[in-house]
Structure 1
Amino acid sequence: MKASDLLVRCLEAEGVEYVFGLPGEELEDLLFSLEDSDVEFIPTRHEQGAAFMADVHGRLTGRAGVCLATLGPGASNLVTGVADAQLDKSPLVAITGQGGRERLHKESHQALDIVQMFEPVVKWNSQIAEPETVPESVRKAFKLAEYEKPGATHLEFPEDVAAEAIEAEPLSVRRRVCRPDPDRSSLDRAADLVSDAEAPLVLAGNGAVRTPAAGSLRELVERVGTPVASTYMGKGAVSDRHDASLMTLESGPDGEAAAAIERADCVLAVGYDIAEHDPKSWNPDLDTAIVHVDHEPAEVYEHYNPDVEIVADISATLRGLRERLDGVTAPSWCEDRRERIAAAASREPDPDDPFSVARSLPYLRDAMADEDVLICDVGSHKAAIAQGFRTYEPNTCIVSNGLASMGIAVPGGVAADLAVDADVVVGTGDGGFLMNAAEIETATRLGLGFTIVVFNDDDYGLISEKQREHTGEQFGTELTNPDFRSFAESFGIDGYRPETWGEVESTLREVVPGDEMALVEIPV
């Protein structure tokens, strides 16, 4: 068989269902190998869309999503989505084509040093220089991508290598590498800090919604009653219905959750990445006791210098803490804040209130089941969704907040609808939407059915908001947009533009549980 056939057999052995990407001349052998396999190749409209699809697939399933592009501009177009997966800790394997090795030592058409280009944005990457190395290269790429903390890896596959004959077999896929259990002395010290605190608080980060960590965290919170604030990417680790939930770090009127964590004297940080949210905002005076629970040591940072670091399996650590805190009840110190946060998140707008993202969220939440998935793009709407959208289950509100890439939502909706049985909603601004709106065609070609909600302000609203805060004026942010309803209909999907709050409510209740693609524009 060809080396391209062997690589695809390795993908099958890894359990890959989909490869998202664009075709290219240098991928010819690999594409025809995919045609004869159990792996479905999904042609996308842009390589960035393909990478975002692989990114979201990885976050939702825990198995590496795969994206594919040819050399040169195809590979460079992948970089943003691959970097997003890396900083959002999403397992992803990128595969790029390359010209024949006989021309790589000199300047040649479309040739770039792709391996060097990907080096800063992946956990590991390599060129497959010989057919014999295909099984080891593919196994290593998937093992490292999925190993905690997960991230992105990359393989370059030159066209002459892909065409060579080879007799070999994929490596056997073993169970994932397991992290060790925590040491007893660290558990004892952490439990003492939490039990002695007058205002303890759990900070649930990105790692708290991966693996079984959310279940173990919920059991701990149920036992001890410690209030919980999540990062944007930790939403759903503890249900926002629970009396302990303060939603996210900045939720509530006048930043109630932020005020709570600033007052906390002990923070149990579970799977927390400081790339998501600067701890300087909640530990400005360096006087908060911190217990770091994660798969990797804490980053060295003045405002995040943990008293105890437990680098071990998160679930096992939380179970060990729960046992040691049996009979301990956290002080009642922020119920009033919790009540104000919950009331603000559930308050429906008055009929005369102007349209806004925040006021739309109670209607969107009511239209969605607990297990339905919301993919949130990046822009001025992101903070409103992250802070005000009540989330009840892990991985049901997907926010890009490591790299924070605009344009992720529509491709993410494609990946989510392929990965989960629940309904999927995409929440995006007009800026991020039009960056990858062409992937609506990918969705309709695949027969998918999810809802796109476009919050339209004809502006790069987050940037203009920051400019006005700093200078009192804005520049370079204003946009013009197409008629989004007609734009949706040009793809063969239904478009809606509600004009009253009653129409917003009825439209969302109609389209979100439906089986067809739909776009709802809400001017804000």
Structure 2
Amino acid sequence: MSETISPRTGADLLVDSLQAHGVEYVFGVPGGAVLPILDVLAERGPRFILCRDETGAAFMAQAWGRITGKAGIVLTTSGPGLINAVCGVATATEDRDPLIIITGQVSRSAQFKQSHMNLDSVGLFAPITRWSIEVEDSNTVSEILVNAFRVAEMPRSGAVHVSVPVDVLTAPVSGQVLVPPESACWGAAPDNLIERAAALLDTADAPAILLGVRAGTPVAAAAVRRFLERHPLPVAMTFEAAGTLSRDLVEHFIGRVGYVLNQPGDEVLRQADRVLAIGYDPIEYEPSAWISPQTRVIHVDALPATLDRAYCPEAELLGDIADNLDALGSRLRSRPPADRAAVAVARRRLLEEQGRGAALAGMPIHPLRFIHDLRATLDDEATVTCDVGAHEIWMARYFFCYAPRHLLFSMGHQTMGVALPWAIGAALARPGKKVVSMSGDGSFLMTCMELETAVRLKLPIVHIVWKDGGYSLIQSLQMRDYGRSFGAEFGPTDFVKLAEAFGATGYRIESADDIVPVLKQALAADTPVLIEVPIDYSDNAHLVEAIDASAQH
């Protein structure tokens, strides 16, 4: 008796298309509307990473996308499953990270009426993605996916949403998998534009560099380093450009700048007469905060500048960032390192604060002491993911990083709860490398359930919780603006017991002298570890002296 061969279905075509794009992992939560996809994944992969919530799944895929440059894949069921992913999808888009979310949908015949778990998912995701579409014909699955990858991975990366009705997944198909072509090479800008940019910089009295999100890719970072070796200008960077400078170029670093507008690096930019903005995106750092009337901007990016009254570059080098920087660097005259008072003040203040951390003792732990000991304990290949809150500002200012895409922040929506799921995505993207994630106790409790995911996957992640019993950044803003704090405190949590309940190892820092020994013990483990750190936020008032409260989560 001959074996009956099942016809290929829309689900087969979808999974085959993912494989054609080299997808290694699909992050998600199972549900009835995507069971046909899960059945094919069980048969031949890619590997399905079962998450505890769709928000965490989206964050994991986002981290994968940021680190690899390839779209991370999220799979959710219809109704509340896809709704739960909205926050993570919006975060990926606003942080400029490539992601594709594939959501199940009720059958096409049921969409015109009120039915179980039926909603307009295309309309829901349209405002928070680069593209939102539903598959209406099973034979077009691969056509839609090949374009979804192209849109998600464009220079302004972001999320793409693909809705697939369950009857599309089960329908027989004759369509073939479309293999994506090799990516186009952008190249450098025309010579006359490069010459104009060089002339602007050569005539500058107080030039500076601002590095943005697209300067932080490995290829662009290498070009930035080559440029600085020949032209040692002072460098400020946004949070998402962290790691662009190597250790041997750190003397040019004047600080990370962003939504906290009280840093010495902010002042250097405001005093500059020329700013070379490399890979800069206005969502990271409002142009009016750092551009002064005398500032003349040179915009170097793969994307045209978003023009407004503050940001209107006098020269624009569009195309491949690395090619344009190399071309610009070859045309500039040599000049000595900057010898300006504002630059010297920025460098001195950064180093003084870093040095102060080494001498701080007592309990609770001062942020600078913990950051000092963490940096001294980690090698440069470790990935550090950081949540949103007061700890993020401390880390962004004083934790130096020397490898691109190895220190991750959220600067688009400044979304809380990202650090632990990001760490899981990072550990999968960089197998064999250490990953440390850091949260406040408020942000950790938003996605703490994903610790079980890390335990199940046996990922050697070290997660650090700065514990103070409240939303400390919000409290500091309230005290600054209203003289009192309200609605920002919560009850105590024993994070060591919580870690153990999930099957992880838990440690608690009892004194400043414990930091390095506990970190070393945690980093030596081959399974997830959580470290609870009672933190001293008494200096937080200085962090918020110039923060716009409306910009906070």
Q: Which of these residues, 360, 364, 367, is aligned with residue 377 of structure 2?
A: 367
- Does the alignment pair 1:100 with 2:98? no
Structure 1 residue 393 displacement after superposition:
0.8
SS of residue paired to 1:292: strand
- 1:250 and 1:167 map into 2 onto residues whose CA distance is 51
Single out whichever of 354-363 and 119-128 deviates more from structure 2: 354-363
Distance 1:253 1:97, change over 3 A: closer
Q: Which of these residues, 182, 188, 213, is aligned with residue 181 of structure 1?
A: 188
Structure 1 residue 339 displacement after superposition:
3.5
- 1:5 and 1:254 map into 2 onto residues whose CA distance is 54
**Residue of structure 2 in register with 1:281 after alignment:** 289
SS of residue paired to 1:36: helix
Q: Which of these residues, 279, 284, 298, is aligned with residue 271 of structure 1?
A: 279
SS of residue paired to 2:85: helix
Deviations 1:486-506 (A, max 9, x none): 111111211111121101122
Q: Confirm or deny: 8 A CA contact 1:195 1:330 kept in the other structure.
A: no
Q: Confirm or deny: 8 A CA contact 2:504 2:530 kept in the other structure.
A: yes
- 1:99 and 1:253 map into 2 onto residues whose CA distance is 48
Q: Which of these residues, 30, 34, 45, is aligned with residue 38 of structure 1?
A: 45
Q: Confirm or deny: 8 A CA contact 2:383 2:406 kept in the other structure.
A: yes
**Pairing 1:355-434 to 2, within 5 Å after superposition:** 355-420=365-430, 421-434=432-445
**Residue of structure 2 in register with 1:82 after alignment:** 89
Q: Confirm or deny: 8 A CA contact 1:250 1:257 kept in the other structure.
A: no
The amino acid that maps onto 2:255 is: M
Single out whichever of 117-126 and 333-342 deviates more from structure 2: 333-342
Q: Confirm or deny: 8 A CA contact 1:253 1:344 kept in the other structure.
A: no
Q: Confirm or deny: 8 A CA contact 1:235 1:247 kept in the other structure.
A: no
SS of residue paired to 1:212: helix
Distance 1:253 1:211, change over 3 A: closer
The amino acid that maps onto 2:289 is: S
| Number of aligned residues | 523
Q: Confirm or deny: 8 A CA contact 1:450 1:516 kept in the other structure.
A: yes
- 1:228 and 1:72 map into 2 onto residues whose CA distance is 47
- Does the alignment pair 1:521 with 2:529? no
- Does the alignment pair 1:60 with 2:63? no
Deviations 1:133-181 (A, max 9, x none): 0111110011111111211111101000100111232111211233242
Q: Which of these residues, 214, 218, 226, is aligned with residue 221 of structure 2?
A: 214
Q: Confirm or deny: 8 A CA contact 1:58 1:91 kept in the other structure.
A: yes
- 2:260 and 2:388 map into 1 onto residues whose CA distance is 20
The amino acid that maps onto 1:481 is: P
**Residue of structure 2 in register with 1:497 after alignment:** 508
Q: Confirm or deny: 8 A CA contact 1:268 1:290 kept in the other structure.
A: yes
Structure 1 residue 367 displacement after superposition:
1.4
- Does the alignment pair 1:507 with 2:514? no
SS of residue paired to 2:44: coil
Structure 1 residue 250 displacement after superposition:
6.9
- 1:97 and 1:416 map into 2 onto residues whose CA distance is 26
**Residue of structure 1 in register with 2:361 after alignment:** 351
Q: Confirm or deny: 8 A CA contact 1:223 1:329 kept in the other structure.
A: no
Q: Which of these residues, 201, 205, 208, is aligned with residue 198 of structure 1?
A: 205
Q: Which of these residues, 331, 347, 352, is aligned with residue 338 of structure 1?
A: 347
**Residue of structure 1 in register with 2:265 after alignment:** 257
- Does the alignment pair 1:320 with 2:320? no
- 1:16 and 1:8 map into 2 onto residues whose CA distance is 9
Structure 1 residue 336 displacement after superposition:
4.7
Q: Confirm or deny: 8 A CA contact 1:252 1:341 kept in the other structure.
A: no
Structure 1 residue 65 displacement after superposition:
0.2
Q: Confirm or deny: 8 A CA contact 1:47 1:74 kept in the other structure.
A: yes
**Residue of structure 2 in register with 1:2 after alignment:** 9
Q: Confirm or deny: 8 A CA contact 1:20 1:68 kept in the other structure.
A: yes
- CA-atom RMSD, angstroms? 1.7
Q: Confirm or deny: 8 A CA contact 1:493 1:517 kept in the other structure.
A: yes
The amino acid that maps onto 2:491 is: T
Q: Confirm or deny: 8 A CA contact 2:202 2:333 kept in the other structure.
A: no
The amino acid that maps onto 1:390 is: F
Once superposed, which parts of structure 1, at least 4 consecutive aligned residues long, lie more than 6 Å away?
250-254
Deviations 1:213-251 (A, max 9, x none): 000011101111011111011111113552111231279
Calculate percent identity across the aligned residue pairs. 36
- Does the alignment pair 1:467 with 2:475? no
SS of residue paired to 2:75: strand
**Pairing 1:116-155 to 2, within 5 Å after superposition:** 116-155=123-162
Q: Confirm or deny: 8 A CA contact 1:147 1:177 kept in the other structure.
A: no
The amino acid that maps onto 2:515 is: V
Deviations 1:360-390 (A, max 9, x none): 1011111111011000001111111111111
- 1:110 and 1:27 map into 2 onto residues whose CA distance is 13
The amino acid that maps onto 1:511 is: A
Q: Confirm or deny: 8 A CA contact 1:239 1:245 kept in the other structure.
A: no
Distance 1:199 1:440, change over 3 A: same
Q: Confirm or deny: 8 A CA contact 1:252 1:344 kept in the other structure.
A: no
**Residue of structure 1 in register with 2:163 after alignment:** 156
The amino acid that maps onto 1:515 is: D
- 1:100 and 1:342 map into 2 onto residues whose CA distance is 61
Deviations 1:406-438 (A, max 9, x none): 011111111011111320000111111010100
Give the TM-score normalised by the residue count of structure 2.
Answer: 0.92
- 1:210 and 1:275 map into 2 onto residues whose CA distance is 17
**Residue of structure 2 in register with 1:436 after alignment:** 447
SS of residue paired to 1:427: strand
